[in-house]
Amino acid sequence: MTAAFLNKFSLDGTTEHLVVNSDTRTLGEMRRHFDSDAQS
């Protein structure tokens, strides 16, 4: 799943900043899969 892939990049330090641009429903669904450290 895309959210898991992006979450991994965020948590392992591969990327410092991550911006997700999406419709409200998709963004809400993805947010549930991100680690709490990745959401801040």
More confident residue, 1 or 28: 28
- Residue 12 scores a pLDDT above 80: yes
Nearest to 13 by CA among 33, 36, 37, 30: 37
Sequence-distant (≥ 6) Cβ neighbours of residue 15 within 8 angstroms: 9
DSSP at 29: H
Which residues constitute the domain of residue 25? 2-39
Is pLDDT at 23 greater than 90 in this prediction?
yes
7 touches 33 (CB < 8 A): yes
Q: Please count the structural domains in the chain.
A: 1
Mean pLDDT of 1-8: 82
Q: What is the pTM of this model?
A: 0.53
